[in-house]
Structure formats: C-alpha cells, structure tokens
Homo-oligomer: A and B are copies of this chain.
Amino acid sequence: MIKLGILGGGQLGRMLLQEAANYPVETWVMENDAECPAAHLCRHFVKGDIRDFDAVYAFGKQVDTLTIEIENVNIEALEKLEQEGTLIFPNTNALKIIKSKILQKEFYKQNEIPTAEFRIIQNRSELNRYQDFLPAVQKLSTGGYDGRGVVMLKRKEDLENGFDEPSILEKMITVQKEIALIVAISQQGEPAIFPPVEMVFDPVLNLLDYQLCPASLPENILWKAEAMALSVARNLKSPGLFAIELLVDSSGNVFVNETAPRVHNSGHHTIEAHYCSQFDMLLRIILDYPLGNTKAVLPSLMLNIVGENDENGDAVYEGLSQVLKIENAFVHLYGKKETRGGRKMGHVTVISIEKQDLLLQAKKIKTLLKVKGTQKV
C-alpha cells in the first residue's frame, strides 16, 4: 500500500483524509498541533514543524509520496527528498514558483499569461519611487494568507502604509468578477479542468461571502479563462491539483490573480456537487489512477462558516439545527475546538438546479448560522 504523507493538518488535510478512506493508501500527517483537524483521521500522525528542514526530511523519508495542504513548508527538505526519489505533488519547482509572489508573477510574464502589470519591490524606499504606478496593490512576496499581507495603495499618501519587505506592486484592476478554476494534471501530464466558480466577496470585510458554480460568464470569457488556467497548470510542469484565481475586468479582459498548488477553498463544493471531488481528484493523481469526471451533478453554492468577530474560546454553532433542516444543504464542520474572529470553522454547500434557490438558501444560512465563543472579548 502506498504511504502518502500530507504536510499540514488543517481542514484541507481533513477533507483529503475523509476521501482517502475510499482508496488503498496509508496516510501520514505532519503538523505541530496534535489536535489539528487532520490529526485523528490518518493512519500515522507525526507532531512536527512543517517549516523545519529536519522535521520535513525525516517525515518524508518514512513515506513514498508527499503532498501539501499549505504552501508554507520547508522547500529545501522537499528538494532533497525529491532528489532522493520521493514523489512530491506538486513538484518542488512548481511549489517554489508559487510560494514566492515575485517568482509567480515572473512565471506568468515569461509564459505570456495575462496578469496585472507589476513591479518588484524590495523595501519601502523602492516603493516610494512608484508614485506614478498608483493606484496599486502591494502584496508580500511570501507569508500572505487569506487577505493578510496585502495593502491597497490608492494615492501617494498611502505609500507610508506600504510594506518594507520583498513584495510586488500590482496595478489595480477594476474587477468586475472574480472566478476560480481548478485544474488537475496527471502523472502523465494529462489535464482535466473543473467548471469555473464565481466568488462573491463581502465588500467591507474583503472575505468570501459565497461562491457559485458554475460562474455565470459569457462564452468568450469562459473560454479565455479556461485556456489561461490550463496554461498556468501546464507551464508549471508538475502533476498535481492547481487552483487558479482569475479576475475579469469591465472590458472583459481576464487576468491571473494567483495560483495555489493544492486543494483549495474554491473547490469544496465539488464534494457533493460534482462526480469527482477535488480531494478525490488529487488522490487519483497521487495514486496514478485515471483522472475523475469534473462535471457537476447539479449547480451549487458554497459558503464558508467563519468565527464571528469578538468571539473567542470554545466554538458554539448557533443556528446549526435550523441550517441542518435545509433540504439541499450539506454542512461540514472542521473539528476546530476554538473559534476566533474570521477563522474558517466549516462550510456549507447547497445544491440546486435553480440559481434563485441557491441564493435564497445562502441568505438563510448567513442569517441563521453564527459561530460564537464561550469567552467574550
């Protein structure tokens, strides 16, 4: 039986393990927290720091193949393991490109994949030279996550809020629509593409409000987006699963925003709404099985369940019973004991042939379900 190691033990690892139980594979997880969401669904749990060379190397030597559920891993250890024959999904070259926003932007440019115009910045004094480049968005090259490490610089007065670290400065795009596509690349280099999802953001919190699948797009934009996502995944020259976020501007131009080389929040709806889920697909790639069917059984909507602001301590799911009464909703809670403001605690997928029904149920769920904490701030 193939021994599969997963670096990281969050909800993505948890859902991957739920699916892995359908296949003959021996699962291993490494994470620093022995009570993380993935700790109790694997065959072997190893407590260790995924950013530490020795820990990752030792873990990798115990398994046949490795994958990640977060990019923030020790890449030098992975390179050594790869040289010594461990299969890694994605390969370290792809991971390196994606881990650094600077390399990632250069990769898009080299491969003629449309992306927002950008400048590379090493520190604030360099940043100050780009007054004429505003309005722009500055993104830290490494370490950003879920909206952190990003700052909007609209006017030159904003420059003092900029980062004093290696980063990219991107021309601001007037986003009309944000979409995401997941592309699978088999060990033989064969691709499969999931239908695009459309992300709807809360304009105040800049947090995902909900996402719809399929995205409602004119055919010409859909085709452009699919071609670009395929181009990103193929040019990374690695088997694996890739989530490509794209921005559509008001003129119908499509730009790659960023890529994740792993299962992704934008693919959770595939668990119930598609023939093959993103988790099943990644396992098929790793186990060298045929790629699965990316088609939808029904259109879907996915909402993250996030901790309410100013609520800490043990999570309490207010309104859960009412949400569980919704006849076409599927609830996933991630087993995180403690909540905090904005923490992803779970998600709900709704499936329906009627878009209006999806939107109605989403509204109901958002109104009903609140993650509170036992300690008030």
Which chain A residues have a beta carbon within 8 Å of chain B's beta carbons? 1, 14, 17-18, 21-24, 27, 40-43, 275, 284, 289-290, 292-293, 295, 297-298, 315, 317, 320-321, 324-325, 327-328, 330-333, 335, 337, 351
Contact = CB atoms under 8 A, between A and B. Distances in A.
Given A18-B18, A275-B328, A284-B324, A24 B317 contact: yes
A22 B324 contact: no
Contacts of A333: 22-24
Given A18-B18, A40-B43, A297-B298, A324 B289 contact: yes
Given A27-B40, A297-B351, 12 more contacts: A1-B337, A17-B41, A18-B18, A18-B21, A22-B331, A22-B332, A289-B321, A289-B324, A290-B325, A292-B324, A293-B327, A297-B297
Given A40-B42, A43-B40, A351-B297, A21 B335 contact: yes
Most buried by B among A21, A290, A327, A328: A21
A24 B335 contact: yes
13 contacts: A17-B21, A17-B41, A21-B41, A23-B331, A23-B333, A24-B317, A24-B335, A40-B43, A41-B41, A289-B324, A290-B321, A293-B328, A297-B297
A330 B17 CA distance: 16
Q: Which 10 residue pairs across A and B have the least CB separation, nearest first?
A: A293-B327, A290-B325, A40-B43, A22-B332, A289-B324, A290-B324, A18-B18, A18-B21, A41-B41, A24-B333
A4 B67 CA distance: 31
Q: Residue among A14, A24, A321, A328 with the most chain B CB within 10 A?
A: A24
A221 to B, nearest CB: 27
Nearest to A44: B40
A116 to B, nearest CB: 37
A289 B22 CA distance: 27
Contacts of A43: 40
Contacts of A289: 320-321, 324
A46 to B, nearest CB: 14
Nearest to A37: B21
Contacts of A18: 18, 21
A275 B14 CA distance: 21
A290 B326 CA distance: 10
A337 B275 CA distance: 27
Contacts of A40: 27, 41-43
Contacts of A284: 324
Contacts of A297: 297-298, 351
Contacts of A24: 315, 317, 333, 335
B42 A327 contact: no
Contacts of A335: 21, 24
